[in-house]
Structure 1
Amino acid sequence: MSAEVAADVANLADLCRRQVALRGEERAFVFLESGVVESATITYAELDRRARAIAVRLRELALPGSRALLCHPPGIEFVAAFLGCLYAGIIAVPAPSVRRATGDARHSRLIAIADDCRPALVLSTKDTIVSVHAILGDRPVTPLATDEVVDGDGEFQGVHESNEVAYLQYTSGTTGRPKGVVLTHAGVLHNLALIVRGGSRPDEDFGRVAPTVSWLPVFHDMGLIGGVLQPLYLGQLSVLMSAQSFARVPANWLRAISRYGAEIAAAPSLGYELCLRRVSDDQRDGLDLSRWRIAAISDEPLRAATIDRFAARFAPCGFRREAFFPSYGMAESTVLVSGGPLEGQPIVRPFDTNALERGRVARATSGAGARSLVGCGEPDPSLEVVIVDPETREPVGDDEVGEILVSGPSIGAGYWADPVGTERTFGAQVAGRKFLRTGNLGFLFEGQLFVTCRIPDLLDVDGRQLYPYDVEATAVGSHPSLRAACAVMDGEDVVVLAEVEHRYRATPRDEIRNAVAAAVQAEHGIVPGRVVLLSPGTLPLTTSGKLRRAACRTLMLGDKG
């Protein structure tokens, strides 16, 4: 389907039906069990039949506009259930899958989502629906194992307005409880078209739409768009695997990209870092990454070192540094605000560190006193990005850092059942118009959007605005035992929490603490109030691999030793 054809569909259900008419018996989705074996596959026609059958059953159980929690384990059944909700006019709420009724760390997130959106239905598979329903306790929800719904020959088609709510995308919870972003059919379709304009439309030379490969959880905005909706929009084969399979053997993601000749694959910085740390030379041998045309990468902020190291490490496999597609976005903007460039090298510019600490933008030469920042692309012309003072909301000068505000058709309609939060986040007034407050600091330079830090994460030390990511990188590099770190404020002091690799259990802890303190003082001119050493895997992460800094502060307060 061309972008022009896709752009004239009225809603996401129409989008799927249009692809059925065009592609019919072509494969739409493949799932790789353990990241290796094709354990399930489905064509566009089969997917449509499954979605229509599920939609009929959903309409028997709930009214249009009701919410349905989708708690499927990784696999294709989620896709059929999600589309079934879209067909039926039921508001889909992708949520974490759970493995058992007790003891799963995702339970609290699932319960928080359920209490926020008050679903009428909970959907999963026959193997997990009982456990999921048990976790929800006595909440009045009707369970449905969607894989037990029998395909029918009915011609069920929901009729939806483009401004209807399609689904709720819950945030990953970096700053607190998850919040449900209200996304309409029109807004999601706009963002899908925006992504195509940013570069994901295949070159005509391919002669077909090359596959995409994704390990990202489908309840995460990047995983849902990149692994499910964008492939549907383009008519790509989407090869899915679980995040657990990727985490166990990161090489399986690269093998799948090589095996299927994928041209698009996306991950947060964590994914590329895992490949660097855990893909051996033997595993790298034999990979063909030459057809990987768009390696989308996102984070806050992006690190030039990650891009450089990955490009160098996998160049023998045909991977090109030019394939990296730095991007910026969030659940509140559907997913993408800016990205690119598509052709040429990622944009990396050195800026004066002292100026950035004072909220100013000044170019620098590489070396001491410079901080290299990665550009996150040019914002699409259909979106308006302004940089403002976080306190006054007044636009700042071109040489100043400020909060990034965004307005446009892709922006969510607000937070579900949260008018106060909606007004606070989606109602920023600039020149009489409403903008989304991203909560990120940054600036526009040479047309590129540069993101520097989340506002709550800033380390304010004696009037200097230090970026925690820089302090964390210094800490991790100070001693070979350290694998991850988080820098937070405790009153007027900076506290560094750092994970120590198991194989360094015998290393004296004072040796490690002293190394961190010395490196941070030498590099940043501050002495940490404390250095807290933790076991591997202790630092709390979001589903996309970002530090949950509010939880890290709680962890720090619980360890005053």
Structure 2
Amino acid sequence: MSRQKQGKLHRCQYLCLVEGDTVTDPIKQRLLLTPSLTQCPPAILPRHVGEILSLRAAQMPDALAFAFMGFGRVPDVMLSYGELHARALAIARQLLMQGQIGDRIMLVFPTAMGFIEAFFACMYAGRVAVPALPPRTAREAERLVAMVEDCQPGMLLSGESDIESLAHFLHHRTDHAPPCLSVEEVTVSGPLPGLHQPAARGLAYLQYTSGSAAVPRGVMVGHGQLLHNQALLTHHMGSDQNRRWLMVSWLPHFHDMGLVAGILHPLFVGRPCVLFSPEDFMQQPLRWLRVISGLQATCSGAPDFAYTLCIRRAKRGGLAGLDLSSWDHAFSGAEPVRHTTLLQFAETMAVTGFCFDAFAPAYGLAEATLLVAGKVRGDNVVVRHADYDALTMGQYQAPHPASRVVRLVGCGNLGATPSVQVLDPISGSPMPTGQLGEICLQGESVCQGYWAQPVLSGSVFGAYRWTADGSGWLRTGDMGLVDEAGNLFVFGRLKEVVISDGAKFYPPEIEQVISDVDSAVRPGRVAVFNIDMLDTAAVIAVCEVTPVPEMAALAARIQAEVQSQCLLNLNGVVLIGKGQIPLTSSGKIRRFACRHAFLEGELAILYARLDEAVPGNRRKIIRRDVQTVDQM
């Protein structure tokens, strides 16, 4: 065998087996031999992100850091802190052979397995990591090209199976195509470099936003901001307590929740983590619960849609033998946290030992590194009953006997902290307790702005300077309120608020009502938005559905249910087939893009129920392949 082959990471010695979706003995046995599973190791004080790994590797080199599950598609792998550290140093050596400090390095990996070592290689070499998704669709390809042209990376790192196609694709699509390197070709033999020592405000990585309301932008995350947010996560997750703690995550590694909470946080606190891919979850959602049960994991989470998928799959069976009693921190974020979802999941999973108060609703965003506020482990979930009519007028009030009741889920208690405020989006002045406004932030987790966009960064990250200490506020663009007890409630994007007859409605609330009308409506695949109609604003609902014989009856039921539950008249109900509603790479609804597709006639409509006054070129909106169009 050649010296180069001998020097490569010999992963086969760490292989383990999975029978179906059941974790077999190798992972369990390795975890049992890992002291940090039940005892929190001594805290570290990293000065920069790279030291999260290097200090843990020095402290406990042989302890299990990550186990990667492939469910038969790819081999399973277990890596210790020492092995991961050695691999990252070897890749850092390659990075130091060309370019300079501060170069952006694009990390394009389908799973977290090769990504983590490449990410820390960037930290060790003083480069700026740029997590990205390998393009599998036309939109993902456009996104990758846009990211490359925006940050102009000095190199692209990927896996052996993707590197050739990525190099060919970028060479033909952009003038800024970087040289590409497969991490499998990097050897661990030879002298290894020392660690770069960046300043706390030095740039660690670019987190490109998912683009639910606009073109993705590169959020500049500094070393100090990431370390501060890790301390917040430690407090909320209770991961520094001397008790059993195990993370299971399938969240995308190229998004903030998957990277900061699912990967970097276990490393920060020195606790083990088991990972598998988003594709493996989407193929079999209950696989997530089987892994948690099989390993008796304590911490795992996802956006709202993932819990909804599990509820629907559980109706077909598959809960026999599951034990979720160990899962005491089930975080939910990245999407509006819906009380209906939490309650249905807890009721469905009660037979497995899951407890409602294990849920940890949270609020965060990439511009604040990740976590802004969230329920602390061990606290009860906060639920408030509110008058729906009052909410449409921007005010929280307790319901009276005749009012429609809305159940709001708290996303953490702000206490007396001044770093999170609800401000008037026009004046920037603080909103009174219980009144809706824009959530605005200050503090050490707030990032440095958007890459190469100083004007936009100033308006978003430095707003309302006249009301603060001169440093300004980060405008999140999210609507929320704080109750008298200091609990934060989040309602959705300011720009996506639907207006009808002077009242404000929040799309996630309407979309949830529509999703519950019939099982033919695909969960999490409904978009509600405004369009101009004569001298007023029309409200349109576009719904992905499984075709049913009575499409007209389904549309009528949707309209009637929204009228009854939300006191809102839909001017259009549009039923379309699977896979047409535009989504971000993290699965969020792109409502503006859906609105554009509707107005431009780009949707293959199965059935439409529209007001006569709905504007636009009806021949363009209503394509020839539409089965039926009814006027209201």
User: For 1:84, which of 121, 127, 133 is the aligned residue?
Assistant: 121
Distance across 1 between alignment mates of 2:436 and 2:443: 22
Kindly indicate whether the alpha-carbon contact (under 8 Å) linking 2:387 and 2:403 is maintained by their aligned counterparts in 1. Answer: no
Structure 1 residues 122-201: aligned runs within 5 Å: 122-137=156-171, 138-156=175-193, 157-201=195-239
Q: Distance in 1 between matches of 2:417 and 2:106?
A: 32
CA separation in 2, counterparts of 1:328 and 1:357? 22
The residue that corresponds to 2:367 in the other structure is 332
CA distance in 1, matches of 2:63, 2:41: 21
Counterpart pick for 1:523 among 528, 544, 565:
565
- Pick the aligned partner of 2:531 from 459, 474, 490: 490
Counterpart residue identity of residue 542, structure 2: L
Residue number in structure 2 paired with 1:351: 386
2:44 and 2:55 in contact (8 A); partners too: no
| Counterpart position of 1:119 | 153
2:494 corresponds to? 455
- What does 1:52-451 align with in structure 2 at a 5 Å threshold? 52-98=89-135, 104-137=138-171, 138-156=175-193, 157-206=195-244, 210-279=245-314, 282-364=317-399, 368-379=403-414, 384-429=419-464, 430-431=467-468, 432-445=470-483, 446-451=485-490
When structure 1 is superposed on structure 2, of 70-79 and 410-419 the one drifting more is: 70-79
Corresponding residue number in structure 2 for 1:473: 512
Q: Structure 1: how far apart are the matches of 2:529 and 2:413?
A: 31
- Given that 1:488 and 1:495 are in contact with CA atoms closer than 8 Å, whether structure 2 keeps it comes out as yes
Mapped partners of 2:401, 2:165: distance in 1: 55
Identity of aligned residues (%): 35
- Quick one: distance in 2 between partners of 1:35 and 1:246? 14
Q: How far apart are 1:280 and its partner, in Å?
A: 5.2
- Find the counterpart in structure 1 of residue 546 from structure 2: 501
TM-score by length of 1: 0.94
What are the Cα deviations for residues 143-198 of structure 1, in whole angstroms up to 9, with x where unaligned?
11112100135342222222110000110101111101001111100000011112
Q: What is the rounded CA distance, in whole Å, between the counterparts of 1:388 and 1:32 in structure 2?
A: 45
- Segments of structure 2 that go 5 or more residues without pairing to the other structure are 1-35, 602-620, 623-632
Please tell me the residue identity of whatever aligns with 2:562: V
C-alpha distance 177-366 of structure 1, shift in aligned 2 (>3 A): farther
Offset at residue 367 of structure 1 (A): 7.7
The structure with more radius of gyration: 2
For residue 76 of structure 1, report the CA deviation from its aligned partner: 1.3
* Mapped contact 1:300–1:452 kept (Cα < 8 A): no
Correspondent of 1:51 among 77, 85, 88? 88
CA 1:480–1:212 in 2, change beyond 3 Å: closer, same or farther? Answer: closer
Q: Post-superposition shift, 1:541?
A: 1.9
8 A Cα contact 1:214 1:226, kept in partner: no
Say what the alpha-carbon RMSD is for the aligned residues. Answer: 2.1
* AA at the equivalent of 2:280: S
Kindly state the Cα deviation for residue 299 of structure 1 after the two structures are TM-superposed.
4.2
Kept in 1, the 8 Å contact 2:463–2:473? The answer is yes
CA distance in 2, matches of 1:36, 1:303: 34
SS for the counterpart of 1:536 is coil
CA drift of 1:281 comes to: 5.8
Which of residues 25, 32, 55 in structure 2 aligns to 1:18? 55
1:496 maps to a residue whose letter is A
How far, CA to CA, are the matches of 2:268 and 2:120 in structure 1?
Answer: 13
The residue that corresponds to 1:511 in the other structure is: 553
Structure 1 residue 444: Cα displacement: 1.1
Q: 1:405 offset after TM fit, Å?
A: 0.4
Q: Secondary structure, in 3 states, of the residue corresponding to 1:61?
A: coil
Q: Distance in 2 between matches of 1:36 and 1:320?
A: 33
- Per mean C-alpha deviation after superposition, the further-off stretch among 487-496 and 521-530 is 521-530
- CA drift of 1:382 comes to 6.7
Amino acid at match of 1:139: H
